[in-house]
Amino acid sequence: MKKLLEVCQYGDCDIRFNTDIQPEKLSRIIPGLSAQIAFSMMTQLWGGIEQPVLAVIRALAVADLAASANRKEMLRMFGAAADDVVKILKEANEAFTKSGGQIVSFGPGVMPPKAKS
């Protein structure tokens, strides 16, 4: 198991972060990691805990933007990166469907039936 990001609050103003990801490898792993996280958020994460998890993710993104020297550039970069991840996921879904797979979507907070996995 690899710790992607741990965020712990020890007091009102004491928030600490930890990760197993090595900074020198960030530029190589982030695009693939983004796609893996998006896929997970569309599958396993949706099952009841998405609201608090997404609230913290969004708080981290807002804090990152607030601390940024150039918010417009960061938003442009986020948009471009998200477009790339959407393309990757769309291509993966199309390949899966062409190979005979079937994609069944469930909305946030909706658990799949027990018989499905």
Q: Can you give the pTM of this predicted structure? A: 0.71
Please indicate, yes or no, if residue 90 is contained in any of the structural domains: yes
Q: For residue 15, what are the β-bridge partners?
A: 9
Residue 13 lies in a domain: no
Q: Is residue 7 part of a domain?
A: no
Reply yes or no on whether the pLDDT at 99 is more than 60: yes
35 within domain boundaries = no
Residue 71 maps to a domain? yes
Tell me the per-residue pLDDT of 6-51, one tens digit each, with 9 for 90 and over.
Answer: 999 999 999 999 999 887 887 788 888 888 888 888 776 666 777 8
Quick check: is 78 in a domain? Answer: yes
- 96 Cβ neighbours under 8 A, 6+ residues apart: 103
Domain coverage including residue 67: 48-98
Provide, rounded to the nearest whole percent, the portion of the chain with pLDDT above 70. Answer: 85
Domain count within the chain: 1
Let me know if residue 61 belongs to a domain.
Answer: yes
106 assigned to some structural domain: no
Find, among 17, 14, 15, 24, the residue nearest to 3 by Cα: 17
pLDDT band for position 92 (cuts 50, 70, 90): confident
